[in-house]
Amino acid sequence: MRPVKAIQFRYVASDELASLFEDFRLMCNDAIRIAVKGKPRSRFTLIEIAYPRLKEYGLHTHYILSACEVAYSVYRNKERRSTDPYIERAFLKLDNQSYSLNHLLLRIPTTPRHFVYLTLQGSNYHLSFIDDPTLKRGSITLTGRTVSIAFSKEIAETETLGEVGVDVNERNVTTSDTSGVTIVFDTSKVAELKEQYRAIRAKIGRVTRRDQRISQRLYARCGTREKNRTTQALHRVSKAIVERAGEKKFGIVMEKLKRIRKLYRRGNGQSPSFRGRMNSWTFRELQRQVDYKARWEGIPVSYASPRGTSSKCPNCDSHLIEFEGRRVWCPSCRQGGDRDVIASRNIMAASVRAARPSKGSREGESRRQENASNPRSRWMEVSAGHRPKS
Ligand SMILES: [Zn+2]
């Protein structure tokens, strides 16, 4: 495995950089036009046919190669769009052979034999990546305010002793693992932040009714702040989940995220306003964080089909009856429990189930299950109205 992690640094841009951004953008768009016309079969063909035109910009050869790479991927994905593809954003992408990084001093080429130096702003966290000799540096992407450096490392995938199922909800993240431990992370703060910012946005709308420009600017600032605060809260949860999985040598199982939108579209006791508050971004963000943090540590991540995770009994697959307060009850087993706990157990068990070749056959049963207690047994344990706290 070679997981990649992109680390973002802030820096102060200069005028020279601004014109470099603009030139690169024009080069990319030239290369896209050439690709649309010439229909190259590969990135290398595009470099061949676009080279003479892009050379006229007088920039270092690295920019030509990079512009062709950007253009080729845009060209390859153009079927999804109706209009001709075009790059508007000011940015630069350079491969790891074209820049050099000495502590926080970044050197990038401009024209042949000329360079620009940028001083990156980095905390101890940032420096821990730069100063780690075991990490390999990949490409860099510069925007007006940030430099993103891709770091990668060689890591063997951990041998797992079990699984932890992660169920993401509006007000909590619930995990259940093969050792029988259930942990509920309270994320109601994230939901409250959403409410708070909704109120702020409504106020902005009222106050700046007469000036669209000001309201746009305030909305944007408000959006960034909300995103930053939400991301921070989610980082604490994703870090805790990955750390524990690492300590216990558990693989992580999450749900394929389609369910979320579907779940809240259906009438399942939630009012339209509640559904309105739902933001699938939060769910995706938490999964994204858990996914990349786990892969970085060599912890396997898998995704379970969302079918029936919160509506089927983990013991007998019977359809569960839903009650108020996120409680469910199995009519066959005559047991009741917490909806989120059940869901996280079903998600965990889904990975074990997926490891079996066919129903009823025990041949392909995963070794993991032997080492651990049966995940599908006794879900009553955490059902009697109390939820174990982390
Ligand atoms: Zn049952």
Question: Where does 56-120 have alpha helices with state H?
Answer: 61-76
- DSSP per position, 188-233: HHHHHHHHHHHHHHHHHHHHTTT-HHHHHHHHHHHHHHHHHHHHHH
State the pLDDT at residue 21.
92
From the number of C-beta atoms within 10 Å of its C-beta (0-12, 13-18, 19+), residue 171 rates as middle
State the pLDDT at residue 354.
58
Distance 317 CA to ligand 1 centre (A): 6
Distance 336 CA to ligand 1 centre (A): 9
Distance 133 CA to ligand 1 centre (A): 53
Q: For residue 172, give the 3-state DSSP assignment.
A: strand
Q: Flag the least confident range among 21-25, 251-255, 267-271, 383-387.
A: 383-387
CB distance 301 to 295 below 8 Å: yes
Rounded Cα gap, residues 254 and 119, in angstroms: 40
Rounded Cα gap, residues 21 and 170, in angstroms: 41
Q: What is the pLDDT of residues 194-223, one digit of tens each?
A: 888 888 888 888 888 788 888 888 888 888
Distance 236 CA to ligand 1 centre (A): 34
Highest mean pLDDT among 105-109, 266-270, 349-353: 105-109
Distance 275 CA to ligand 1 centre (A): 29
Distance 171 CA to ligand 1 centre (A): 26
pLDDT at 383 over 70: no
- The mean per-residue pLDDT over the stretch 262-281 comes to 49
Distance 365 CA to ligand 1 centre (A): 22
| Backbone φ and ψ of 369, nearest 5° | -70, -30
The one-letter amino acid at 384: A
Q: What is the pLDDT of residues 57-112, one digit of tens each?
A: 999 999 999 999 999 998 988 766 556 777 888 889 999 999 999 999 999 999 88
Rounded Cα gap, residues 354 and 47, in angstroms: 44
Higher per-residue confidence, 20 vs 259: 20
Q: Which two tokens stand for residue 99?
A: 């820049």
Total Cβ atoms within 10 A of residue 95: 13
Quote the distance between the C-alpha of residue 104 and its chain's center.
27
Q: Which two tokens stand for residue 377?
A: 């047994």
pLDDT at 356 over 80: no
| Residue 42: its H or E element | none
Distance 168 CA to ligand 1 centre (A): 23
pLDDT at 230 over 60: yes
Percent of the residues in the chain that have a pLDDT greater than 70, as a whole number? 83
Distance 383 CA to ligand 1 centre (A): 13
Q: Does the predicted model carry a pTM greater than 0.75?
A: no
Q: What is the mean pLDDT of the chain?
A: 82
**Rounded (10°) angle between helices 188-207 and 212-248:** 170
Distance 319 CA to ligand 1 centre (A): 8
At residue 353 the predicted structure's pLDDT band, cuts being 50, 70 and 90, is low
CB distance 246 to 257 below 8 Å: no
